Amino acid sequence: MKVKVEAVAKKNKKSDNTISENRKARFDYEISKKFEAGLSLLGWETKSIRENNAQIAEAYTLLKDSEAYLIGSYIDPLKNSNQEMDPTRSRKLLLNRKELNEIIKSTSQKGNTCIPTKLYWKNGLIKCEIALAIGKKSQDKRNSIKSRDWERQKAQELRERNKN
């Protein structure tokens, strides 16, 4: 019986390389294609991210002058520093020209946008996963809630049947 409990605990554990996720994005948008982008960060920002003090829940991607910027992400400033730190400054996203052109082309179409979905570590570097997305209407959101509740209820009923 102990073996099953440990397996469940490991399954629910958040992966080690994920720093921050934008869960609301999956609810508000229908995600079509994902890209991996590097981030241009200052030293104090990297130190703060190592301490898991970053959030991208309210962040968005701005495309300007054929470059991409991450706007509205929050990186908590270090407590014991004497330099001026702006926790919500805009940070440049490092993408290939081909990827940038594809993002610019698709966001120029009506209804499409580019949103950050996740911050994570990859080979010692901080990466940002951005996605091309289409906004959901309220009816789609209700369907998402309904299907999520049904999945939860179905899993609960299966657990109850397996106990008996």
90 φ/ψ sector (left φ>0, alpha ψ -120 to 50, else beta): beta
CATH number for the domain whose boundaries are 14-136:
2.40.280.10
pLDDT in tens, 84-108: 777 778 888 998 999 898 888 888 8
Residue with tokens 């981030």: 39
Give me the pLDDT at residue 81, please.
65
Q: How confident is the model at residue 14 (pLDDT cuts 50, 70, 90)?
A: low
Q: Is the pLDDT of residue 8 over 70?
A: no
**Domain residue spans of the chain:** 14-136
Give me the pLDDT at residue 40, please.
86
Strand ranges of the sheet holding 112-122, from the earlier edge strand across to the other edge: 18-21, 112-122, 125-135, 29-39, 91-94, 67-71, 60-64
Q: Are 104 and 9 in contact (CB under 8 A)?
A: no
Q: What is the pTM of this model?
A: 0.69
Alpha-carbon distance 138 to 158, whole Å?
A: 30
Looking at every residue in the chain, the average pLDDT score rounds to 81
Give me the pLDDT at residue 124, please.
85
Closest listed residue to residue 136, CA positions, set 113, 107, 109, 108:
113
Q: How confident is the model at residue 9 (pLDDT cuts 50, 70, 90)?
A: very low
